[in-house]
Structure formats: C-alpha cells, structure tokens
Copies of this chain bind each other. A is one copy, B any other.
C-alpha cells in the first residue's frame, strides 16, 4: 500500500544547538521508501545515523547560531504487512528467545514493568493464549484510559498512567508495553505516520513479540492498524523520540500528514474482541 507522508516543523533556535530527528520513514524489506525529500531552511548539512536496532534512521545536524528553523519532510512509501493467525500458535518461552529480543522484556524509562507485575497478572494472568492476552490488555487500556491532550507531559510514565488513567497515544503505548513485559511478553514502542488518524499527528503504538513475530497493537483505537508507515521502534519513547534537542531550542509548530497515494484503495482494519490474527509490519 502506498502512502504520501509529510511533516513541517518549526523550531526557534536560541543558540548553537544539535538536533536529532526521527521523522524519516524506516526502510526495510517490507517498507520501501519510493521517494523522499528532507529540507532544512536555512540550509544545514545533515547526517543520517543508524539507531537503536540499526534500522531506525536518526537525522543529526548542528545549528551554529540563533535562527528560525523550518524542517520539511515528505516521502512516498510503499509498505506491506501480513496477518498472523494465533489460534494455536505456541509461545516462545524465555528459554528460547533470541538474545536480541530479551531486552524488550526489561523495564525501561517509561515502562516500569517491574512495578506492574502483580497488577498485570491479577488482571490478565488467567488468559492462556498470548495474543488474546495482549488484545485484552489493549482493550482494557482503551476502556479505562481517557485520551486527553495536555494531561501528560514528557516525564509521564506508565506507572502514572495506569493510575491517573488519562494521556495521549504515547502514554497508551507505554502502558501497553509495560503490561506486556509484566506478563513476560517482549514489547516495544512504535512511532509512525498514521492514515486516518484524527487529529493528524505523529502516532505512537506498540508491538508485542508473539510466536516469533512483532505484532502491532494500538490501545487508542484512533486509527486503522493497516494505515501505519513505520518511523522507528525502541524500548520506549526514550529510544524513539521524534526529536532530541541539545541546546536552547524552542519547538514552535508542527503539521503532520499521511495520505493515500493515487489509485490506492484502503479498507480500514482493526481488531475486534474475537480476533485471532495479528497484524505484522516487519
């Protein structure tokens, strides 16, 4: 499926600064970037770094002096996904997990799974099928956490959200990841462009590692699962932040969009309570 994605961001640079941006669509065997354009005005030379798992694309550049910086990214991306049936699929026990997956079982900055062990097991421990478990916890978050712009901030973590029960997509994702890990299911943070997300913005959801595949879940329920263009994955937002700013920088505005390329036909897909198949992007 082909999507046209874009973002226009503006920063007020107050003094010499370095910026790390994670806004470029990821490239891998299932997601092809057909074309892309990244521009900074005034012009600054940028460099692309491989990040986290070697797949994320981190754009780094220095701004030498105070200025108003306009960043513009647009791309046409062709991605594909598959559906994985989980009715009888066996779990991979920790004893057989690939060492590269094990870190996604550990607690992280915004995902204190060590503190939610009892809660997760009291609430979801009785469900035997792991796909159903993650589906159930996603539904639980969706039903109990209120989507509320401005409620949370950059320091908010799953330990807050599980009790305060309000936040934005980032908080929904962190709570999902945390509950998975507390249930010994590896999970990671996912950022992307998202078709039909309202209001348009970057989106964050999460992937659970089930039967050897990274399966996508979105506790916000705000966008179809099959309209995502992946930007990055990581342990949580600390690994996959849209922007990391070093210096005296003020974020002033942003618009983000994701449209269907000409000629594409899109049928929105989301899980229902009795889904047995998960959607896998990688």
Chain A contact residues, CB within 8 Å of chain B: 18, 20, 49-52, 58, 60-62, 93-95, 99, 102-103, 105-109, 111-112, 114-116, 118-119, 122, 143-144, 146, 154-155, 159, 162-166, 184, 238-239, 244, 246
B51, B99, B239: the one within 8 Å of A99 (CB): B51
Tell me, rounded to whole Å, the shortest Cβ–Cβ distance linking A229 to chain B: 23
Tell me, rounded to whole Å, the shortest Cβ–Cβ distance linking A29 to chain B: 22
Q: Using Cβ atoms and an 8 Å threshold, which residues of chain B touch A184? A: 246
B61, B108, B118, B154: the one within 8 Å of A238 (CB): B108
Top-4 shortest CB links A-B: A118-B165, A49-B99, A106-B238, A62-B95
Within the oligomer, what is the number of copies of this chain? 4
Given that A18-B94, A107-B238 are contacting pairs, would A112 and B155 also be in contact in the complex, using a CB cutoff of 8 Å?
yes
With A94-B246, A122-B143, A159-B163 known, 15 other A-B pairs at CB within 8 A are: A60-B94, A61-B95, A62-B93, A62-B95, A103-B239, A106-B239, A108-B109, A108-B238, A109-B112, A112-B155, A114-B154, A118-B164, A118-B165, A119-B164, A122-B144
B18, B62, B115: the one within 8 Å of A155 (CB): B115
